[in-house]
Structures are given as C-alpha cells and as structure tokens.
Structure 1
Amino acid sequence: MDGPWSLSLDPELQRFLDAETQKQRAQRLIHQMTELCWDKCVDRLGPRLDGRAEACLVNCVESFLDTSHFILSRLEHLQRSKPAFSESLSD
C-alpha cells in the first residue's frame, strides 16, 4: 500500500506532462532569443528591416542556438559521467 504522499502517475499522463514541459522550455527559449536578438540588432523601426539588422538577427539567432546546444550537450555529458547517487553512497 502506498503512503499518503506517494504519487503514481499514469504513464500516458506522464508523457503528456513531459511533452508540455518540453513545449514550455522551447517557448521560453524562443522568447529569450527573440528579446536578446531584437534588443541587440534592431535600433529603429520601419516598414522593413535593413540589411544590417537582418544579418545581425541571423547571426544572433545562430549564435544563441549554437551556445544553447553546446551548454545542453555539456550538461548531458556531465550528467552521464557522474556516478549514480546510490553508487556514491556505497563507496
């Protein structure tokens, strides 16, 4: 019998929650990237972006995505290289 504080989620519900969490992370990343690159590259508004602003936005987005990918890859590598918590307790 489970205790009053244990929580067991239906696998389908867990998949749904995981997918929603991923969507939220992606939306947050897009918002951060948009705000950062817009503030950096667009200094005046007009009917169209000028060539300088457009090139700056492209470079900014590419740099942001490359950096995010690098950080995530590094964190995943560190996570895989750490011994499991239970293994570290047995030492």
Structure 2
Amino acid sequence: MPSPPEAFLIFKTELKRLELEKERLRIQYEQRISLLNEELDYLKEQINSQESMLKSAFDYASKLEQSMKAFKEDIIQDKARLKESRH
C-alpha cells in the first residue's frame, strides 16, 4: 500500500489541530457564557431586592403620610373642641 502524499498528511494534521482549537474555543465560550449568566442572575436578584425595598419604603411613606394627615385632623378637631368648651 503506497503512503499518502505529504501534502495530505500535512492537511490531515492541520485539520486535527484546527478541530482541537475549535473545541477549546467552544468550551471557553461556554464557560464565559455560563459566568455571564451567573452574573446576570445575581444582578437580577439584586434589582428585585432593591425593587422590593423601594416598594416597602414607598408603602411606609404612604402610611406615614396618612397617619400625619389623620394626626393633623385630630389636632384641628381637638382645637375646635377646646374652643367650643371655653365658650
């Protein structure tokens, strides 16, 4: 059986090297994508936490505003009652 031409052997060796390089790059790409997805998930979690915290703060501020208005109304009514009781 005659040996293959030298150019074919060089081509075959180069093809194998390129296939290995392609696989290495694919693995590297998948690792980077995985890390980016982990970071993205972490950032989404942080955003959700901050959104929840802001909602709680807004709810608290709204309730506090309502309490202040009710307190102000109570003061106005108490002043009116004191005025009426003096006369």
Query: In proportion to residue count, which structure has more helix?
Result: 2
- TM-score, reference length from structure 2: 0.43
- Higher relative contact order structure (alpha carbons within 8 Å, sequence separation ≥ 6): 1
- TM-score, reference length from structure 1: 0.41
Work out which of the two has the higher radius of gyration on C-alpha atoms and give 1 or 2: 2
